[in-house]
Amino acid sequence: MPISDNDRLVLDTSIVIHYLRADSVGIYVESTYHLRNRGEVPIISIVTHAEVLSFANRRNWGEAKKDRLTELIREFVVIPVDTQEIVDEYAKIDNYATALPSSQKMGKNDLWIAATASLANARLLTTDRDFERIGGIFFHLALIDPSDPRPETTKSVEML
């Protein structure tokens, strides 16, 4: 299904990092989804914000790169996790994910990001295959292959 500039997008941590690096995935995301020129401003979870800051600190990013990160985050709508609606959505998705085979369990931070996409009725952009387990059930999913970011290799999973 083609994506319109008016469709809601939630960006996973991996996408924000690739986008900031302006690597092949970041370039693909901008050319395909037009993050800076959308009718709907892209959304991130506060969890994504925290994960990206943690990543930057672990990698000893300099002040200039951290400043670019701060400016980029300001361009997004940041959704907190301290509302009853997001907590309820998290609980619903966690309940579903808990029933998955142990080899398919998801990280708790990924569940918060999934809850954000679900509550926003948005398409989650990610390179993380873990979301494939619940994409299409709770939210639309665009799974981008980081080794070959092209429309032909991006897996799109629509809501059932």
The identity of residue 77, as a single letter, is V
pLDDT of residue 105: 80
Torsion sign over Cα 99, 102, 107, 113? negative
Instruction: Give 132-152 pLDDT, tens digit per residue.
Output: 989 999 999 999 999 999 998
Alpha carbon distance 79, 132 (integer Å): 22
| Average pLDDT of the chain to the nearest whole number | 93
The identity of residue 117, as a single letter, is A
Please provide the CATH number assigned to the domain covering 9-157. Answer: 3.40.50.1010
Element at 123 (helix H, strand E): strand 123-126
pLDDT of residue 95: 94
Instruction: Give 84-109 pLDDT, tens digit per residue.
Output: 999 999 999 999 999 988 777 889 99
Alpha carbon distance 8, 122 (integer Å): 5
Q: Is the pLDDT of residue 160 over 80?
A: no
pLDDT of residue 121: 94
